[in-house]
Chain A
Amino acid sequence: GAGVSQSPRYKVAKRGQDVALRCDPISGHVSLFWYQQALGQGPEFLTYFQNEAQLDKSGLPSDRFFAERPEGSVSTLKIQRTQQEDSAVYLCASSWEPGTGSLWDKNIQYFGAGTRLSVL
């Protein structure tokens, strides 16, 4: 079946612009995560949804970052008034919720190819 899909793949923004990054999770996955990956670093957690509920947003670096998943499927990560330090790859991952679906898939996060954001 289809994997996690992210769009756009590349985004160039001028400093101060707002951007919106989209994530389409694997069909049926109720858990969705956003990560930020700086150049040469490992991904770092931003926020987590279970269906439409945002259960953890402890990793969001500032109040300029906002994520939503209104219908429990597609999610959007929005960054307001972008800054140069926001330049990174933004990765989305989805997974089964424990207690549903395949036991083998429990807690395994499947990632999209990411959106590379460059803020000039």
Chain B
Amino acid sequence: AQKVTQAQTEISVVEKEDVTLDCVYETRDTTYYLFWYKQPPSGELVFLIRRNSFDEQNEISGRYSWNFQKSTSSFNFTITASQVVDSAVYFCALSAINSGNTPLVFGKGTRLSVIA
């Protein structure tokens, strides 16, 4: 069975602080995808990143960076110099890699509040 755990329910930071959102996953699959999505108050889930399990290279995109460590089954997300617009609920998700599309298994999300 697949499972995603986001232990941090809510985080509050002051603008310009760095913040890391934790994600730990469980899967029996040897290959899989990991994702991060952002859900602003409007409700739409916005895709941020997808990583393949066989590619552990960390990734940076602007103020966002992701640290994938297969040894600890973690895929953490860091926002540098946070801004008020980063306030949202962030979800980590996992899916198998099959010949067809497969459903996403989500964590419960971390609500990030950035205070001006």
Chain A positions within 8 Å of B, measured between CB atoms, are: 3, 31, 33, 35, 40-45, 48, 50, 55-56, 59, 89, 91, 93, 95, 97-98, 107-114, 116
Contact = CB atoms under 8 A, between A and B. Distances in A.
A89 B103 contact: no
A91 B45 contact: yes
20 contacts: A31-B101, A33-B103, A40-B108, A40-B109, A41-B108, A42-B107, A43-B91, A44-B106, A55-B100, A89-B43, A93-B45, A98-B99, A107-B95, A107-B97, A108-B47, A109-B101, A110-B47, A111-B44, A111-B45, A113-B42
A87 B93 CA distance: 23
Given A31-B101, A107-B50, A113-B42, 8 more contacts: A33-B104, A40-B108, A42-B4, A48-B103, A89-B43, A93-B45, A107-B101, A112-B44
Nearest to B95: A107
Given A43-B45, A91-B45, A98 B101 contact: yes
Contacts, number: 68
A109 B47 contact: yes
Nearest to A95: B101
A109 B47 CA distance: 8
Nearest to A116: B43
Interface string B40-52: 0011111100100
Contacts of B93: 42
A100 B59 CA distance: 26
A93 B91 CA distance: 15
B102 interface: yes
